Amino acid sequence: MTNWRKAMEVFNTHVGGVASAHNDARTQLEAFQNQRQSVSHLLQARGRGMEVAYRPRLTTTLDVTRFLLKQGLPFRGHDESLSSSNKGNFLELIEWYTQRNDEVAKTMNENAPGNNQMESPTVQKDLTRSCAAEVTNVILNDIEDNIFSLMIDECRDISVKEQIRVVLRYVNKHGCVIERFLAIVHVSDTSAISLKKTIDELFAKYKLSLSRLRGQGYDGALNMRGEYNGLKALILKDNSSARYVHCFAHQLQLVVVAVAKSNRIVSDFFQYVTMIVNITGASCKRKDKFKQLEHDRLVECLEKGDIVLDMIVQEMNNRFSKSGTEVLTCIACLDPKDSFSQFDIGKLLHLAELYPEDFSLTDRVILEDQLETYIQNVRALVLPVATVSVERVFSTMKIIKTDLHNRMGDEWMNDSLESGFAAGFKGL
């Protein structure tokens, strides 16, 4: 422009009216400079709003997940469509929750974004897996680097898949003996080598050291307790201090079976008991009427069975191994009952000799003097006497994985079991 006298006229022409390009550009510049109206501010404000709504939605679904896990209830329903009268426990509980809590209702169902409902099967499995991981961390942190024992049992689930359940027994920081379910694992076969490989992989996954293992307890199946090729023998090759104890409950059962087979009177007795139970159990009236009679008859048979009791004692001596009984007899010296009336220094010193990995020659020399004052160095032995806790896992598994839910995957079943067993954990 060469004629500055007409500058204002030209500027006004450039600015134009309210809807001109210049004024539109100016308005957009002012909006950009105003952070409350900028794109970044709008996105950030929207993100904060979504986060505020997401938190109660997540808390609600997590609460429902924890409740179902604690009660051992199935999540899914047969018909989860909107028109279904029963969509399954998970969705029905969320619906019940939202109807009774206005704050939750504001962020759930139709008030939630279509891609963030937090109700899908994938979310359910993710939450279950998170609960299981939290439980596992609590157990592992409780054990730390202390010694522990291993209990294993095997069984087929409702979908005819071979599963082994693993329970750890240890002494916690408060000196209490604890048994915790760790995992349930699907195995292709139950040979000792396959089971040993599964245990090694499980220990590696949870960073458990086989060198800290001090006991192993099984139900006595040959693949478990075999002297040369059983799981017991394979573990003992890696750690001689992992002493094996055949479940006392199973041994007692074998004693009764063996005695019953060798004595006709006892065998007939158990057959009669079975028939009586079947007959009376079919009718409530018969059951009430014969309950006392059955009790009296059982007492009478036992009172007349002096010879039979001798056979039971003999069979128990044959069934209960010397090594396992020896260890547990020594441990019994630590029983605080009647002011440690069973306390025996000689047996406790012998017990220390059975665990050379934990008690060196120097330790054993000092140990006798220490035992004269009090028993502290030997109170943490955790040999399993029975595998009841492991049996409970499969009892619970039948509740979780039923005929109507036989397609449940191994990982979800494991996570559901592990989280459900942790109902008493404060860390969950």
Q: Cα–Cα distance between 28 and 5 in angstroms, integer?
A: 31
Partners of 151 in the beta sheet? Answer: 167, 217
Question: 117, 403 in Cβ contact below 8 A?
Answer: no
Q: Which segments of 41-176 are extended strands (E)?
A: 148-156, 162-171
Q: Cα–Cα distance between 303 and 338 in angstroms, integer?
A: 31
Name which residue leads in pLDDT, 339 or 420. 420
Question: 378, 363 in Cβ contact below 8 A?
Answer: no
Q: Cα–Cα distance between 171 and 149 in angstroms, integer?
A: 10
Mean pLDDT of 412-418: 78
Tens-digit pLDDT profile for residues 201-249: 999 999 999 999 998 988 766 667 666 578 888 999 999 888 888 887 7
What SS3 state is found at 168?
strand
Tens-digit pLDDT profile for residues 40-94: 554 555 556 666 777 888 888 999 999 998 888 889 888 888 888 899 999 999 9
Mean pLDDT of 21-45: 63
Task: Indicate the domain borders of the chain.
Answer: 39-119, 131-247+384-428, 252-319, 321-382
What SS3 state is found at 229?
coil
With CA atoms as reference, report the closest residue to 177 among 330, 380, 352.
Answer: 380
Q: How many residues does the chain have?
A: 428
Mean pLDDT of 281-300: 76
User: How much of the chain, in percent, has pLDDT values that exceed 90?
Assistant: 16
pTM: 0.60
* 245 CB-contact burial (10 Å; exposed 0-12 / middle 13-18 / buried 19+): buried
What is the phi/psi pair of residue 137, to 5°? -65, -40
Tokens of 83: 């028109």
| pLDDT score for 425 | 41
pLDDT confidence bin for 328, thresholds 50/70/90: confident
Q: According to the CATH classification, is domain 131-247+384-428 in 3.30.420?
A: yes
Residue 53 belongs to what H/E stretch? helix 39-71
Amino acid at 414: N
